[in-house]
Structure 1
Amino acid sequence: MTETQQVRTYPFSEELGIHVDPIYAELRSAEPVNRVQMPYGEVSWLTLGYEDTKTVLTDPRFSRAAAQGQDQPRLREEMAYEGIVGLDPPDHTRLRKLAGKALTARRVNAMRPHAVRIAEKCADDMIAHGSPVDLVEHFALPFPIAVICDLIGVPFEDRGKFRVWTDGLTNTAKPVMSQAEELFAYMATLVAQRREEPTDDLLTALVRARDDEDQLTEQELLSIASVGLLLTGSEAVSTHIPNFLYALLTSPEHYEQLKAEPELIPAAVEEMLRFIPLNPAALFPRYATEDVKLGTIVVREGEPILASIPGANRDPEVFAEPEKMDFTRESNPHVAFGHGPHHCLGAQLARMELQVMLEVITTKFPNLRLAEGDEGVEWKRGLLVRGPKKLRVAW
């Protein structure tokens, strides 16, 4: 029952690097659904097992829309702007379907050769700079920003602005709404340009869905383009690129494996998505719209619940030797991109970019290694994502 559960501070610790706190495994066995208190907001339930996490992410009795206006459990004092993430079906289904039409598998596949050229240019810039170099500054940041900006249709000279907005929207110490307002105002200018001069980019496709089909409001259009695609499409990839390289270079046998067997790169991307946590804590709580039983726990109507992706992705009931990074894993149904209605809209784009990154880096830098010295790796702090702020590499 709720009143007998110990309430633990969450996140459980300030975990830096790519590690998952061992308490996740301990609690998964003892209390797979437990009570936690985040820095802000009300006490919440937290799932740590794979099946419970999938249930919370898919069961319509756990509502994202019901979270709006609540004192949601969260990492920063100010409520985040959530856009499409704060909706339930059918509104969420309508918007996701429209955005999905613009971001098709065909469009992503067609972008791959261009993404390769961008990645090779970033790698060549690293070589021109000389060893050692900060991989974050010279590859992890410019590569995904260039890809997503080309996809949406952001002018090249404006790309630097998005690093400022991304930092503001993911920094727990900065006011998020002012950053969102600046981003929306900029995107509204681009939307007006596309109405006057349509092009063959994703933003034009969204504008047509708004104007010709009357299926989007202006605010919905700006939300999908700004937060749903532009920011999430660049931030997750720019964080995971140095995460992946740090994992490979601290386990050099895995780097050698990918050089010798490049056909393993797609499986390696899936395994590192499973193995490496992106966020320091579970985000986007759902609220129960009625009493729901999870194992021996009853989540009462009106109570929030958080779904732990790292907890689910390390569940030994689903993944053999879950604490081991294995590129030959036969079954890997990870939930790194979420599950169900809110499965990440840009998942296929992120997969493509991460695959291209590994193909280019392992080819261009067969002798890549971490630069010597304590200054080689500096980890992000106070953000909604976790990864290296600086990753100096040498060859």
Structure 2
Amino acid sequence: MTEETTTLTGQAPPPVRDWPALDLDGTEFDPVLAELMREGPLTRIRLPFGEGWAWLATRHDDVKLITNDPRFSRAEVTGRQVTRMAPHFKPRPGSLAFADQPDHNRLRKAVAGAFTVRAMKRLRPRAQEMLDALVEGVVRDGPPAELIERVLEPFPIALVSEVMGVPAADRERVHTWTRQIISTSGGAEAADRAKNSLYGWITDTIRSRAGGTGEDVYSLLGAAVTRGDISETEAVGLAGPLQIGGEAVTHNCGQMLCLLLTRPELRQWWHERPEARDALLDELLRFIPHRSSVGLARIALEDVDLHGHRIRAGDPVYVSYLAANRDPDVFPEPDRIDPGRAPNPHLALGNGPHYCTGAVLARLQTELLLGTLLDRLPGLRLAIPADQVEWRRRTMIRGPRTLPCTW
């Protein structure tokens, strides 16, 4: 054993810190995460559910390394009850989130055609038409309007359902199930019921499209099963998280809209520099705390030395994209929203093989939602004081629960 290795293994591991599930208002950065970032690039955490402790990486470079390194496995997590945020953990075969290479590419290929830049360009006119109908209803009824209920929630759900191929008659019950799945309020039993209902419906839908030639996701999956590229079980596991994806757009856009409506300098930038809106959207994506705590763990497949600590084979490891997006070595003055920040290598949509499958769709929805609302409703503003906006509680995805606005 070399002297360097002796030094590495001889360093005492950081203490295990409890990280409770905090209900935070507005876009406040999680104070526990901020403290962990100050303690070091690599700390140890214990979350509300599961067993034991896990490593946590918070620096931008380390997050990129771990999420792109085959020595850290998502597949290995499925057989463990590692410390975690969610009360329920029953991963399904076929889920991209828990696939390692080469299975990950094989599974992702089955649905990739529905989420390309070209596919999104084709979808854009239809998406704008769907959004315009919602906004026209708001304009017709006049102010005030509750924009989460009227626009920010129905639009992403409807558009995801359009991409997935959910029949109009089934969309409301599918949305009811997805909402319960991402909530922690009903506990494991309620989430299990919702999951069973959703995945049962998905199974029937994929079977009904066996050999189909459509371009929607369920038709692509039905065709892939028929060809033998993936199993039916894998197809169902693939579809579930994609179907749930619309929820994140709703709440991310809710946070962004809150910031644009309460910070005049951001609103001025938006209206006066339309050619630079993409840069502002990237900065808002970097800044907003889009989730509570952390997402899914990885398991080290072999010993890995990092920052003087040895992550042992079998140790669970989390990364924090939220922390990486506030790394002062990468983002000067990270707690300030800088609309012209460049470069802006944020990790809001993930990194590595598990980069968000629906990233191009999410970006399309965000651009359309913010652009249409701010351009179509002159003088749009909150109808109540900012500190009276209600924020979601006991949920893994942060955002305003309601957003009453006038114009």
User: For the Cα contact (< 8 Å) 2:97–2:354, is it kept in 1?
Assistant: yes
Aligned equivalent of 2:5: none
Of 122, 129, 132, the match for 1:110? 122
| Deviation (angstroms), 1:30 | 3.5
Aligned equivalent of 1:47: 57
Aligned equivalent of 2:84: 74
**Does the alignment pair 1:207 with 2:230?**
no
Structure 2 counterpart SS, 1:68: helix
Structure 1 counterpart SS, 2:209: helix
Q: Deviations over 1:202-238 (max 9, x none)?
A: 32122212213x11110111222222x2112x11111
Provide the C-alpha distance between the structure 2 equivalents of 1:29 and 1:8, rounded to a whole number of angstroms.
13
Provide the C-alpha distance between the structure 2 equivalents of 1:358 and 1:384, rounded to a whole number of angstroms.
23
1:332-351 matches, within 5 Å, as 332-351=344-363
1:197 to 1:6, Cα distance in 2 relative to 1, 3 A: closer
User: For the Cα contact (< 8 Å) 2:161–2:243, is it kept in 1?
Assistant: yes
Which stretch of structure 1 is more off in the superposition, 34-43 or 6-15?
A: 6-15
| TM-score normalised by length of structure 2 | 0.91
User: For the Cα contact (< 8 Å) 2:21–2:292, is it kept in 1?
Assistant: no
Q: Deviations over 1:22-45 (max 9, x none)?
A: 554454343111111100122111
Unaligned runs of 5+ in 2: 1-9
Of 296, 301, 304, the match for 2:313? 301
1:308 to 1:124, Cα distance in 2 relative to 1, 3 A: same
Aligned equivalent of 1:60: 70
1:168-317 matches, within 5 Å, as 168-172=180-184, 173-175=186-188, 176-195=191-210, 198-212=213-227, 214-227=228-241, 229-232=242-245, 234-317=246-329
Provide the C-alpha distance between the structure 2 equivalents of 1:3 and 1:15, rounded to a whole number of angstroms.
33
Which stretch of structure 1 is more off in the superposition, 302-311 or 78-87?
A: 78-87
Structure 2 counterpart SS, 1:195: coil
Provide the C-alpha distance between the structure 1 equivalents of 2:34 and 2:171, rounded to a whole number of angstroms.
41
1:261 to 1:342, Cα distance in 2 relative to 1, 3 A: same
Of 10, 14, 17, the match for 1:8? 17
Aligned equivalent of 2:378: 366
Provide the C-alpha distance between the structure 2 equivalents of 1:197 and 1:136, rounded to a whole number of angstroms.
35
| Deviation (angstroms), 1:84 | 1.8
Provide the C-alpha distance between the structure 2 equivalents of 1:167 and 1:93, rounded to a whole number of angstroms.
28
Provide the C-alpha distance between the structure 1 equivalents of 2:155 and 2:113, rounded to a whole number of angstroms.
24
Provide the C-alpha distance between the structure 2 equivalents of 1:288 and 1:207, rounded to a whole number of angstroms.
35
| Deviation (angstroms), 1:64 | 0.7
User: For the Cα contact (< 8 Å) 2:225–2:231, is it kept in 1?
Assistant: yes
| Deviation (angstroms), 1:179 | 1.6
Provide the C-alpha distance between the structure 1 equivalents of 2:387 and 2:135, rounded to a whole number of angstroms.
22
Provide the C-alpha distance between the structure 2 equivalents of 1:370 and 1:13, rounded to a whole number of angstroms.
25
| Deviation (angstroms), 1:13 | 4.4
Aligned equivalent of 1:159: 171
User: For the Cα contact (< 8 Å) 1:81–1:180, is it kept in 2?
Assistant: no
Aligned equivalent of 1:33: 42
Provide the C-alpha distance between the structure 1 equivalents of 2:303 and 2:310, rounded to a whole number of angstroms.
7
Provide the C-alpha distance between the structure 1 equivalents of 2:221 and 2:307, rounded to a whole number of angstroms.
43
Provide the C-alpha distance between the structure 2 equivalents of 1:268 and 1:53, rounded to a whole number of angstroms.
23
Provide the C-alpha distance between the structure 1 equivalents of 2:244 and 2:31, rounded to a whole number of angstroms.
31
Provide the C-alpha distance between the structure 1 equivalents of 2:165 and 2:22, rounded to a whole number of angstroms.
40
User: For the Cα contact (< 8 Å) 1:280–1:384, is it kept in 2?
Assistant: yes
Provide the C-alpha distance between the structure 2 equivalents of 1:250 and 1:77, rounded to a whole number of angstroms.
35
| Deviation (angstroms), 1:77 | 2.6
Aligned equivalent of 2:3: none
| Deviation (angstroms), 1:375 | 8.4
Structure 2 counterpart SS, 1:34: strand
Q: Deviations over 1:351-375 (max 9, x none)?
A: 0110111221111112011112578
1:242 to 1:80, Cα distance in 2 relative to 1, 3 A: farther
User: For the Cα contact (< 8 Å) 1:376–1:392, is it kept in 2?
Assistant: no
* Aligned amino acid, residue 231 of structure 1: I
1:374 to 1:317, Cα distance in 2 relative to 1, 3 A: closer
Structure 2 counterpart SS, 1:51: helix
Structure 1 counterpart SS, 2:55: strand
Structure 1 counterpart SS, 2:239: helix
Aligned equivalent of 2:161: 149
Aligned equivalent of 2:401: 389
Provide the C-alpha distance between the structure 2 equivalents of 1:90 and 1:374, rounded to a whole number of angstroms.
48
Structure 2 counterpart SS, 1:244: helix
| Deviation (angstroms), 1:80 | 4.4
| Deviation (angstroms), 1:195 | 3.2
| TM-score normalised by length of structure 1 | 0.94
RMSD (CA atoms): 2.0
User: For the Cα contact (< 8 Å) 1:265–1:358, is it kept in 2?
Assistant: no
Q: Which runs of 4+ in 1 moved over 4 A?
A: 1-4, 373-376
